[in-house]
Each structure stands twice: as C-alpha cells, then as structure tokens.
Amino acid sequence: MAAYMIIYARIHDRDKFISGYAPAASKLVAEHGGKYVLRAPGAELLEGSLDGGGSVVISEWPDKQAALGFWNSAEYQEAKQLRNGVADVEVLLVDAPVING
C-alpha cells in the first residue's frame, strides 16, 4: 500500500536550504523509491496552530517501509544536518487510504 510523507517547513534561510539540504534530500528520495507529488512555498493556514507561509512537501512512497528506510538511513541522517538552523519542520507519514467505489 502506498504511503505519503507530508512535510511542513518554516524555512529561515531559503538560499542555504535550496543549495544544501534540498538537492541532498531529493537525491536520496529517488534512491529510496520515493517521488515528489508537491513542493510549494507559501502555504496558507486556514485552521490550527502552525505558522502560515511555510513550505509544504508531499512525497509518495511504495509503502511505509520504503519511506522509513529513507528516513532512517545513515545517508539521510547526514543530509538532515544540512537543514539545522535553516528550517524547522513537521513531518507526517501516512498510509494511502484504500477507496472502494
């Protein structure tokens, strides 16, 4: 069953984020079988307690195990360090629902 990783990021230094973390993470997403569905800045908060204006990234994975393999890999742990002090993130992982009819 497919799974989706949903990330909400408050980016403090967009240039550093785009030149360092983003390409490193993108490469690893592809290597672990994921693909991006959405990468967009300027999310408008309609309800809740997150700060509005952040970026949203949604990636699709073959299953939760593939997404967790990416997330827990030594290579991603190293790449994740590139966003320290550059962005604050919230990350969710959900199974795709099975819709009948």
| Residue 56: inside a domain | yes
8 close to 89: Cβ distance less than 8 angstroms: yes
Alpha-carbon distance 2 to 98, whole Å?
A: 10
pLDDT digit string, tens, across residues 23-59: 999 999 999 999 999 999 999 999 998 888 899 999 9
Q: Determine the pLDDT at residue 97.
A: 80
| Residue 9: inside a domain | yes
Domain interval for residue 90: 3-95
**Number of compact structural domains in the chain:** 1
Alpha-carbon distance 40 to 53, whole Å?
A: 10
pLDDT band at 22; cut points 50, 70, 90: very high
CATH number of the domain enclosing 29: 3.30.70.100
| Residue 53: inside a domain | yes
Q: Determine the pLDDT at residue 50.
A: 86
pLDDT digit string, tens, across residues 75-87: 999 999 999 999 9
Residue with tokens 């827990």: 72
Residues belonging to the chain: 101
